[in-house]
Structure 1
Amino acid sequence: MNKLAYFLLLFVLLSASCNQKNGTGENSSGSAKNKGLQDAAINPDQRELIVAELKQMQQAFGDKDVNKIEKYFIFPLADSTLSIYEVNEDFDLARKSTGGNISRDLFVKNFNDIYDYFQMGGFSDLFKAVDLDELKSKQEVTSEHHVKDESCYTFYRISIEGDMVNLQYGTNSDQAYREAHPDEEEVCGESAFNWLFKLEGNKLRFIKEMTAG
């Protein structure tokens, strides 16, 4: 199973878990089987708010503005919400002393290293690759960027289920390249970043990040 398929499956399972906690698991599961019905049941006001929040997020990451970006997170960040290991010596020691939790000050102070660690430039590429306004009437928007004779392609996806918003970006093996180079066992250093947010009140709040590769 490639990383894109893995994350799609993982997101479905995680969303189902979150919906069950909200008491909406049964209805969400049923509607997920029929995308047409789900899209027809979109709450226009909620979608307008989510899209507006995503556009604000686009601006924040485009500017690489830590003061705007940190507002999407609730601190301290629990160790279980981020797949983060070795960032830099000071950061790692500070996290160890707090049981793995990340305070706002620690996040802001080490933001550049955290940004590089999670390849957060992918957020800006993601927002450039899709039309956010389409999410007002669609459950998801996706985009792929293939380059001839390149072993990897980049993929981008934003999906919404109720008040949960999933953002994905990464690289995967290009099938055309694989077919043209059957003797190469590994043609691409695949990677995938998956960020789950939830609309709370009128703000998107970070829930969990998952990384592969």
Structure 2
Amino acid sequence: MILNFKRTSITFAYLAAFAFLVSCNNSSNNNSDNTTPKRAGVKADRQLIIKELGKLKAILASKDKNKIAGVFNFPLSDSIQIYTDSEAFQKERQLNEDKVSRKLFLKYFQEISNDIQIEQVKELFKNINITGLLQKDTLEYKNLIITEPCYSFYGIEIKNDRVTLSVGSGSNEDYKSEVAEDEIPENSSEFCESVIWWIFKFENGKLQLVNINGAG
């Protein structure tokens, strides 16, 4: 699946760094984990984080836009980056002092959902067992299909009080392109490579969404 969206505030250095991290996973279609948590008392925090992620998983799976709106604080801050092609949405947003209210979020939920990749975040939870965070700081899944030019990847990382969900796509370097030599191959990074991050702050036993951005 190819994700198509643009984020002006994130450099492609982040994308390259994440792609390098994913490439370190030697096996496709498998969960990968990296760092083992070492902080004293981390188990209690991890149990709370896993519980909160489980709640988020259930809310997104419900497809109830009112419940999903509850994940966000309104009006949305500038750190929650939303870009849609809907001229109607952009016009109403401008009339609302460039703020996205709950009412506006619900009215244009489908367009916003597509942009912030809610369906892909749901796939993350299908492909990653969040209980693994009891032992690891980072969990990853790479869905590489040899006959497809692009692959999907998903990741969860815990660093200090930040919990980052990553979803995106990358180029399958082993894909045999059938286009002419003077044409751009289907597995070109121009077509395949993109990533979006949902970043939460863990505070007082709760996860608060503080940032959504991406590149590609």
Q: Which has more helix, going by share of residues? A: 1
Letter in 1 for 2:198: W
RMSD of aligned alpha carbons: 2.7
8 Å CA contact 1:3, 1:172 repeated in 2: no
- Return closer, same or farther for 1:8/1:72 CA change in 2, 3 Å cut-off: farther
- The within-5 A match list for 1:190-209 is 190-209=193-212
Q: Structure 2 unaligned segments of length 5 or more: list them.
A: 1-11, 21-33
- The within-5 A match list for 1:52-91 is 52-78=51-77, 80-91=78-89
Q: CA deviation at 1:94?
A: 1.9
The match for 1:115 is: 113
Identity %: 32
- Return closer, same or farther for 1:139/1:8 CA change in 2, 3 Å cut-off: farther
Q: Give the Cα–Cα distance (whole angstroms) in 2 for the partners of residues 208 and 167 of structure 1.
A: 11
Q: Give the Cα–Cα distance (whole angstroms) in 1 for the partners of residues 120 and 69 of structure 2.
A: 17
- Return closer, same or farther for 1:92/1:35 CA change in 2, 3 Å cut-off: same
Q: Give the Cα–Cα distance (whole angstroms) in 2 for the partners of residues 76 and 104 of structure 1.
A: 7
1:96-131 Cα offsets, whole Å, 9 max, x none, are: 123322111111221122112223100111001111
1:118-167 Cα offsets, whole Å, 9 max, x none, are: 23100111001111000112101000001122110100000011221100
- The within-5 A match list for 1:1-213 is 4-7=15-18, 35-36=35-36, 39-41=37-39, 43-78=42-77, 80-177=78-175, 183=181, 185-186=184-185, 187-188=187-188, 189=191, 190-213=193-216
**Greater RCO (Cα-Cα under 8 Å, separation 6 or more):** 2
- Return closer, same or farther for 1:124/1:117 CA change in 2, 3 Å cut-off: same
Q: Give the Cα–Cα distance (whole angstroms) in 2 for the partners of residues 6 and 92 of structure 1.
A: 32
8 Å CA contact 1:51, 1:132 repeated in 2: yes
Q: CA deviation at 1:8?
A: 7.2
Q: Structure 1 unaligned segments of length 5 or more: list them.
A: 10-33
8 Å CA contact 1:3, 1:191 repeated in 2: no
- Return closer, same or farther for 1:8/1:150 CA change in 2, 3 Å cut-off: closer
8 Å CA contact 2:200, 2:208 repeated in 1: yes
Q: CA deviation at 1:49?
A: 0.8
Letter in 2 for 1:177: Y
Give aligned pairs, total. 186
